[in-house]
Structure 1
Amino acid sequence: MDEQAGDSAPKRGAERKSVLLRLDPAVHSALQRWAADELRSVNAQIELLLRDALRDAGRAPRDAGPVPRRGRPPKERDD
């Protein structure tokens, strides 16, 4: 399937999009504390909140990939 200029659906495995987001400092601080409580980055926390909001509103894209795993990969075990 050829990629056309009009295609808006992202391809699986495609590079993740970067977005500049301007926030009130108090909102950012609250997000930062919440993310730290859940051992996430602020970016991961925002993505989680957006995905939850999209799902709750019935607007979650069907072709969205899974949330990327964060953190270190598991150690390989020598058995």
Structure 2
Amino acid sequence: MSEKKAYPLRINAIVLDAMQRWADDELRSLNAQIEYVLRDALRRQGRLKADPPPEPPVE
């Protein structure tokens, strides 16, 4: 699993409220939704490699 780092984020209240509603609709925490949106944007711009596929279970 990748390392997680805390980062204080200053964000417009309207944007934060919209992100919270979106997170609620997707059954994610606000933090997970923000990370999801950031990862998606980074992948689309070619700035983040796609996550490697999960390893098959060991039998």
Shorter-chain TM range is 0.7 to 0.9
> Any unmatched runs of 5+ in structure 2?
54-59
> Any unmatched runs of 5+ in structure 1?
1-12, 67-79
Aligned length in residues? 53
Larger radius of gyration: 1
The alpha-carbon distance between structure 1 residues 50 and 65, as it changes in their structure 2 partners (threshold 3 A), is: farther
Supply the RMSD in Å over aligned alpha carbons.
Answer: 2.1
Q: For residues 4-61 of structure 1, what are the alpha-carbon distances to aligned partners after superposition, in whole Å with 9 as ceiling and x for unaligned?
A: xxxxxxxxx4531111111111110000000000000110001000110010000004
Match of 1:55 among 28, 34, 43: 43
**Runs of 4+ more than 3 Å apart:** none
Percent identity for Structure 1 against Structure 2: 55
Compare the two structures and name the one with the higher helix fraction. 2
TM-score by length of structure 1 reads 0.58
- Where relative contact order (Cα < 8 A, 6+ residues apart) is larger, the structure is 1
TM-score by length of structure 2 reads 0.76
